Amino acid sequence: MNHQDALQQMAVERYLLGELNGPSLESFEEHLFECPACAADVKAGVTFIDAARAELKIPQRVTASYVKRPPKWTSWFTSPWILGPALAACLFLLAFQTFVLQPRMKLEVARAQTPAVLNPLVLANAGARGDSIPEIVAPEHGSFVISLDIPAATGDFSGYLCSLSAADGSLLWQTTVSPEQARDALLINMPTDKTKEGLNTLLIQGLPARDSSSGTLEDLARYRFRVRIQK
Amino acid sequence: MNFVTFDASYVSKLRAGDVPTEQHFITYFSELILLKLRPRLRLQEQIEDVKQETFSRTLSLIRSDGGLRHAERLGPLVNSICNNVLMEQYRVSGRIEALEDETAERLVEPRPNALSMVISDDTRNLVRRVLDDLNDRDRSLLRAVFLEERDKDEVCTELGVDRDYLRVLLHRAKGSFRAMYSKRVDAKKYH
């Protein structure tokens, strides 16, 4: 047997598996003693088999991997210590959305979509000294409409500043009105939560024009009204 | 896995009693003789006796007047002398059994032997990696054949493979092991 024969016949593997006998065994062994390549192959094979036999004695070797590979950087995410609380938080969020947020939103949408007749609080003729103070009953989570006139101004204003203050003087809400909007009666949709129950004052001030020599706001009107919040 | 060339220079050094060459000769052929004898002799002492006698006769022949005419036949000469000594050992131990009728079936016998004693943790780690890369069926096949020593035909039938598959599996596993082993040896050389 020469080396080529040995390779073709897989003689090394047959020898290791004990499949050679008689003349074929004798022939291969003679070759084995003169061929360093086959000798090295057989030695490696025997070493592998002996070590594999020891390794295969370990029960989990048959089905499971033994080498502990380094954990991936994302492995913290799959840790039960993280996954458990995260799942609980997700469930809590889902329950909160389903049983609290969604019903509330549905109610608010329904309220918003419900047609309603608006009775504006007319301030157009109010504000004069000695006049009675009008009162509006406003829904707690809704809004009401104020109707007022911007007094005909003597000066040249670039716009008007409307400021709503509470009885204690604290500023509750502010908006600006252009001269074009101020020409007609002004309707302001006022969110109830921007007001305070009780006396409220709406101050109208003229914003000086850019080329005006005066840089200060000019008080034009002060309207007072009471708000009663309907709960 | 150092490959050696048994040429005239090597034989003449052996003839001259060159100690490093003689040590190499003993080491190299000791492993082969162990591989050859371990399925054939049960006792470690018998293996050792046959091995020592084989070396003694081979070196005597090489250093005799006639010597070894064809240096490249050194390996087959050792094998031939080993066969003769083994036959004598059989006769002495009362086990008259023709060498040509002997099978190598017990080559994979489970008892510890001189070769398996030298398997290092490093080698076991490499083999572990090779086994890890195999699928469950292939691991089960190797386990049944080498550890449980079950009938190979029966195991192959059970697992739906043939004997050629088993040979190829062993060939590949051995090849992977040798490749990793060589890589490890090279890495150690350069560090």
Distance of alpha carbon B22 from alpha carbon B106, whole angstroms: 31
- Local confidence band at B26 (pLDDT 50, 70, 90 cut-offs): very high
Give per-residue pLDDT as tens, B149-175.
Answer: 888 888 888 888 888 888 888 888 888
With contact defined as beta carbons under 8 Å apart, do B114 and A41 qualify?
A: no
Q: Where do the domains of chain A lie?
A: 3-62, 73-113, 121-230
- What is the interface pTM, i.e. ipTM, of the complex? 0.79
Which band of pLDDT confidence, cut at 50, 70 and 90, is reported for residue B112?
Answer: very low
Q: How many CB pairs under 8 A join A and B?
A: 152
Measured on CA atoms in the order A58, A59, A63, A66, is the torsion positive or negative?
A: negative
Q: What was the pLDDT predicted at B114?
A: 45
Task: Kindly report which listed range (A19-28, A125-134, A168-177, A211-220) carries the lowest average pLDDT score.
Answer: A125-134
Q: What is the pLDDT of residue B72?
A: 84
The pLDDT of A69-83, averaged and rounded, is 71
The whole-angstrom separation of Cα B24 and Cα B175 is 25
Mean pLDDT for all residues in chain A: 82
| A151 or A204: which leads in pLDDT | A204
CATH number of the domain at B119-190, please?
A: 1.10.10.10
Maximal CA-CA distance, chain A: 134
- The token pair at B188 is 């150690």
Nearest chain B residue to A45 by CA: give it. B174
User: Considering chain B, what percentage of its residues have pLDDT values greater than 90?
Assistant: 15
Please name the residue ranges forming H helices in B93-162: 114-117, 121-133, 136-142, 152-159
What does the pLDDT average to over A32-58? 86
Reading the block at residue B85, the tokens are 């000594």
Residue among B170, B176, B183 with most chain A CBs within 10 A, to mutate: B170
Chain B residues 96-155 within an 8 A CB cutoff of chain A: 99-108, 110, 115-116, 119, 123-124, 126-132, 136, 139-140, 142-143, 145-147, 152
**Strands in chain A per DSSP E:** 121-122, 135-139, 143-148, 157-166, 171-177, 186-191, 198-208, 218-230
Instruction: Report which of B160, B139, B174, B145 is spatially closest to residue A17, judged by C-alpha positions.
Output: B145
Q: How confident is the model at residue A70 (pLDDT cuts 50, 70, 90)?
A: low
Closest residue, chain B, to A16 (C-alpha): B107
- The pLDDT of residue A92: 93
**Could you report the per-residue pLDDT of B39-85, keeping only the tens digit for each?**
888 888 889 999 999 999 999 999 888 888 888 889 999 999 999 99
| Burial environment of residue A118 by CB neighbours within 10 A (0 to 12, 13 to 18, 19 or more) | exposed
Distances (CA, A) of A203 to A77, A126, A161, A198, A212: 58, 12, 8, 16, 22
Q: Do A30 and B79 touch (CB under 8 A)?
A: yes
Helix (H, G, I), strand (E, B) or coil at B141: helix
Q: A113 in the Ramachandran plot: left (φ > 0), alpha (ψ -120 to 50) or beta? A: alpha
Structural contact between residues A120 and A148, judged by C-beta atoms closer than 8 angstroms: no
CB contact set of A36 (below 8 Å; sequence gap of 6+): B3, B4, B5
Question: Contacts of residue B75 in chain A, CB cutoff 8 Å?
Answer: 32-35
Task: Judge whether residue B117 has pLDDT over 80.
Answer: no
**Domain covering A121-230 in this structure, CATH number:** 2.60.40.1220
* Nearest residue to A16 via CA among B117, B160, B177: B177
Contacts of A3 in chain B (CB under 8 A): none
Q: What phi and psi values does residue B104 have, to the nearest 5 degrees? A: -95, 25
pLDDT in tens, B84-94: 999 998 887 76
pLDDT exceeds cutoff 60 at B110 = no
Q: Crossing angle of helices B163-190/A36-56, nearest 10°?
A: 100
Residue B105: is its pLDDT beyond 60?
no
Are A51 and B103 inside 8 Å of each other by CB? no
Residue A31's closest CA among B75, B33, B26?
B75
Q: Which of A21, A33, A47 sits opposite B123 (nearest CB)?
A: A47
Answering whether pTM is above 0.95, one says no
CA-to-CA distance for A67 and B71, rounded, in angstroms? 47
pLDDT at A44: 86
Cβ distance B108 to A26 less than 8 Å, yes or no, reads: no
Q: Which residue from A18, A32, A36 is facing B107, i.e. has the nearest CB?
A: A18
Per-domain residue ranges for chain B? 8-103, 119-190
> Mapping DSSP to helix (H, G, I), strand (E, B) and coil, where does residue A221 land?
strand
Chain B residues with CB inside 8 Å of A40's CB? 1, 3
